[in-house]
Structure 1
């Protein structure tokens, strides 16, 4: 019996899945597995796009595809037309689950499958180009084993409100499925509308992105509910100091994490007790991974048993080693600190600036709700530091914010352009869409060249 099916059989008569239509999970998974087993007797197993909206059907289909050793591509059903055209051209699937009225074109690329039993997880959507990290059942298992060993657990109960097609949601399922723990699946909007299940959440892990944590902490009853969880994993995007301080004040058992799609989620995590005792970093490295730091650049180099094998359709030439854009350091106690990303580095007037530092300082003024700092092309500075922000009050001026920043930051680190918005563009994983932000800023500046007021001011020095 194939390994995924073995775990499925073990949970057959257990009430482990808490979701609408959860009673259908085993039936759907076994039926689809039998269908795929017949198709997979052919020389080439069918390539499957999985974009089911209904969580139980998504997970049952995923397990069936893994058990039948069919390559499966996890996809976001809400991708737009351009994104779907990009994905279909790349994948050229044989089977599509979850999409209606889709016009499949004849195969023109016909990429050879590097391995047949691959699990392709999407990444890179926020940059405008979707890629699929090539994983296997073994790499996902390595992530689960590293997690359970790090937290010294035999069983993991997960409360999932993140997308299942994304690594952050998928790995919550894997941890519970593999260890025999309970898995709750519910939309975040139901939590915000107080549709809370009558379960003891003190036995559960929940995973959030910073924007979700922020919204829950703005609501006293939901803050109280969140404080009851065994552990609140926080990842997907950098969290700001004010948010972390607020979580600590309310005794949220927060566990900030560092990881990515390519590593099958977290490879470093700060344990809740460390967080509540004042630590603010990404924690220690999990046992299935190693991180080394480039002495010259500060870039991270990752080795992990959970590491992807490449990006579809190419396998990496040097598997097991992955150099990333993130810059950080390991302190003497072995805690990982992430400073920023080298690709986000802004060079203005010959000075190197990392947006995370500026964004943190702006948030500390308590005059904004959210902010993103970028660099835009500038003939004088090379790049001009630009803050796109949501003011806390309509009459909040950029001058007020700058006045507070003068005591915190060097002059060259204070943004030269200030652009107020009602909302900032985030994706489903809580990551800012920097490509869209860049376009918004450049369009705004082109259309407001002569505009000089409290919200938008261009100056030299």
Structure 2
């Protein structure tokens, strides 16, 4: 079935000529390039079966053309970030032996490290990158069927036939790719515009009421700072918000602007969102991730795998028709994927995310979830950005550490600490405070906690060294 769908994919795109479904890019150029890439695949296929393809195009038309051609030819395709550095490309070429590479990549000499010599990539697999922020790139193994299941779940949940998507996110990322898939499968429109173009004030001549737009929190924050863009954003049918946790102040500001926000929960492994708060609920004051979409099921379990009751925090477990087949190259032939997120389902049946189990800080035997502390610090409006992590400590096990970007140079950690004194338990208040000019975040706004920890450790070592030098000077002075 999937093979038949893919074989006719290019023909279906050609038949869309009577309707202006692609906005911001040239549809004819897309078809011409897709046919060119398809012929290249056919030529390569005459030498060997089912070539493996890497697509790393920064140009959206070239990216979509490569994607459509590979899917039409039933090839396995690896979607890659064209802006990866040499070290990241080294990882990719160490684990992927591509036959065709589209895009300007920093190709390294491959070591041909294949984790399981008996493993073969399933035909027509769509490999979507994940895990890059941790320093180790891997790919979630999807198929046309898993991506289509996500689209159908979205379509049913919002009770809409045609999905029009306004995309400002990278297409190699699941959040961008699924906007294309929704438009393609449902016969909707796709508007492609760089986020920087929108941020500069250049607004396309379309009716926002007909479109869904997807943003990450940092993008939403930047648009809300520009009055005419916040007014424009408020005209959209729905503004999907995902990719990273949103802070309370940002949600309040969006609500005050009348933006039909829909906070979502999902990941690369689930082909985008599996839970979404509908705009009507958001505007009424709810801040959860909403109900689970019809193609998925979520349960919350404890450490003994027992299902928890409403409002009890535990590990999130997911079953979904859109779930990836596994990871390449780490976990192969896996049907179930372990999720690290912690949360609970409230009395309304809405999903609430607390944080990640791996990010949890245990200090003096007490559990501290960074997102709660970060939310309290943001609420003071004394910082532009904030991250909370745990640092190893021989007395407490871990100590809560805040790395923050102050609103102004005059704001001190003492001032912020005093502002949160009444809103958090004493053990949750950061012991160490580190001021920074900018926090390391990826394109989706997610914090790179590994890099944050390295910054904090280096700062701590420098502080200890300075104190050590100070002690020597004072001792010398007394001896004199």
Seen in structure 2, the aligned counterparts of structure 1 residues 8 and 246 have a Cα distance that, compared at 3 Å, is: same
Say which of 133, 142, 147 aligns to 1:126.
133
* CA–CA separation in structure 1 for the residues paired with 2:188 and 2:17: 13
Selected match of 1:69 from 68, 74, 86: 74
Question: Is it true that 1:249 corresponds to 2:227 in the alignment?
Answer: no
CA deviations 1:232-283 (Å, max 9, x no partner) are 0000000011100110000000000000000000000000011001111001
Gaps of 5+ in 1: 453-461
Q: Give the equivalent residue in structure 2 for 1:147.
A: 154
Equivalent residue in structure 1 for 2:30, among 25, 44, 54: 25
Contact 1:211–1:430 (8 Å) recurs in 2: yes
> Does structure 1 residue 383 correspond to structure 2 residue 398?
yes
Alpha-carbon distance in 1 for matches of 2:334, 2:391? 35
CA distance in 2, matches of 1:3, 1:286: 29
Local SS of the residue matching 2:464: coil
Query: Aligned residue for 2:320?
Result: 304
Alpha-carbon distance in structure 1 between the residues aligned to 2:396 and 2:373: 17
Q: Does 1:178 align with 2:178?
A: no
Please list every run of at least 4 consecutive aligned residues from structure 1 whose deviation after the TM superposition is greater than 4 angstroms.
Answer: 314-318
Gaps of 5+ in 2: 304-312, 468-480
Q: Aligned partners of 2:113 and 2:390: how far apart in 1?
A: 39
The CA deviation at 1:21 is 3.6
- The question of whether the paired residues in 1 share the 8 Å contact of 2:82 and 2:105 is answered with no
Residue 393 of structure 1 deviates from its aligned partner by 1.3
Q: Taking structure 1 as reference, are residues 130 and 67 closer, same or farther at Cα in structure 2, changes over 3 Å only?
A: same
Q: 1:417-451: per-residue Cα shift (whole Å, max 9, x none)?
A: 11011111110111011111111111111112266
Change over 3 Å in CA distance of 1:138–1:151 after alignment to 2 = same
- Over alpha carbons, which structure has the higher Rg? 2
- Match in the other structure for 1:405: 420
TM-score after normalising by structure 2: 0.90
Change (3 A) 1:346 1:103: closer
Q: Distance in 2 between matches of 1:100 and 1:130?
A: 15
The alignment partner of 1:388 has SS state of strand
Q: Which residue of 1 is the match for residue 360 of structure 2?
A: 345
Contact kept in structure 2, 1:371 and 1:389, CA below 8 Å: yes
| Secondary structure of 2:82's aligned partner | coil
CA contact (8 A) 1:299 1:323 kept: no
The aligned counterpart of 2:389 is 374
> How far has the Cα of 1:202 moved from its partner?
1.2
Q: CA deviation at 1:340?
A: 0.9
- Residues 179 and 424 of structure 1: is their aligned pair in 2 closer, same or farther, counting only changes over 3 Å? same
* Candidates 40, 49, 52, aligned match of 1:35: 40
Alignment length (residue pairs): 451
Contact 1:114 1:315 in 2 (8 A): no
Would the aligned equivalents of 1:258 and 1:266 in 2 still touch at CA under 8 Å? yes
